[in-house]
Amino acid sequence: MYKVKEMFYSLQGEGARAGRASVFCRFSKCNLWNGREADRANAVCDFCDTDILGTDGQNGGRFADAQALCQAIQALWPENTPLAKPYVVFTGGEPLLQLDSDLISAMHTAGFEVAVETNGTLEAPEGIDWICISPKGDSELKLERCDELKLVYPQALAMPERFEHFDAAHFFLSPKATPTINSGPDLEKDKNTAAALAYCLKHPQWRLSLQMHKLLNID
């Protein structure tokens, strides 16, 4: 049984594959925050801005097996695109609580390239084509390598210096935003964007990653 908060087709908004058409499958639940505001202050990841509770989002639900979820993902990819490799991004919450070899195999059989966006604290099944790790706080990383490391900045317990020798092909800083809904300007993110920009200029190993989907007001 897979519990999915939401699924949608959009463009990847950040990181090394920004701009790529993707089906996003957001699993519910996380091991670093339970998704409840009352427990945010005590969570390892206390700045999450994503609703990860339940299965009531767009195209969300409970899927009995890998084939059922695979078919739901396939239905979101546009038809007649022979020149484009179908691409699915499993995210969360923490996708490695649910993503398994059966689902990866089903997606590969359907012709999809499989990516995951994880906090890196859980072992990953074999066969994932693209791994993005976003470390949170002082959590211990179980994964020893990734295709891209995307660090929310700043975090007192997870500063870039801690990861500069990590085995990753790409290194990104993503400015931390205010975790609560705010109809006005996000002054904290403006400040953090300036700080991340300055850090990247001083340490060119790192690249700045802005959330393009939010800037363009798309899913």
What are 90-110's pLDDT values in tens digits?
Answer: 999 999 999 999 999 999 999
| Residue 217 confidence (pLDDT) | 63
Q: For residue range 35-77, list pLDDT tens digits in order.
A: 999 999 999 999 998 999 999 999 999 999 999 999 999 999 9
Beta strands in the chain (DSSP E): 2-11, 21-27, 61-63, 87-91, 113-118, 130-133, 145-153, 167-175, 207-208
pLDDT at position 126? 97
**194-219 confidence digits (pLDDT tens):** 999 999 999 999 999 997 666 556 56
Cut 0.75: pTM above it:
yes
Nearest partner of 104 among 67, 132, 141, judged by Cα: 67
CA dist 45 and 33 (Å) reads 6
Indicate which residues carry an active-site annotation: 24, 30, 45, 48-50, 117, 213
State the fold for domain 2-215: TIM Barrel (3.20.20)
Quick one: pLDDT at residue 132?
A: 98
